[in-house]
Amino acid sequence: MHKGCTSVVVLSSDTDVFVLLFVFYIGELTAIGLKELRVKIGVGDSTCFIPIHALAKKVGHRLCQVLPVVHILTGCDYTSKEGIKHAALNASPVTYLHDLVFAASDLDRIIDRVEAY
């Protein structure tokens, strides 16, 4: 990203990209001055721009940090589905998974928290 760039549009309909943008936007891109991050989805006349910056602000920093874990547990390009994303988001993922984002060294604790979730 060029210095001084404040707006970016990503062309992707991949959910993995969508989820990772939340985390990266919150952590890295806002730190270097990005104000708007949008994902363009759809084809032809059925396209729309999803404002990641607005959604990230609405859901909050902590949920943005655990979204990759929720996404992996509910099925992504590399894992099997263990539940549905809507139910997973309603099950207080920050309560159960936030510590895992930062303290991933204790495997038994990770398994216990994921099972509880």
pLDDT along the chain (117 residues), means of 10: 78 78 76 88 86 87 79 64 64 69 65 72
The reported pTM is 0.62
Please name the residues in contact with 80: beta carbons below 8 A apart, sequence gap of 6 or more: none
- Beta pairing class for 48-51 and 36-41: antiparallel
Q: For residue 105, list its beta bridge partners.
A: none
Of 28, 45, 90, 32, give the one whose Cα is nearest residue 63.
90
- Give me the pLDDT at residue 117, please: 66
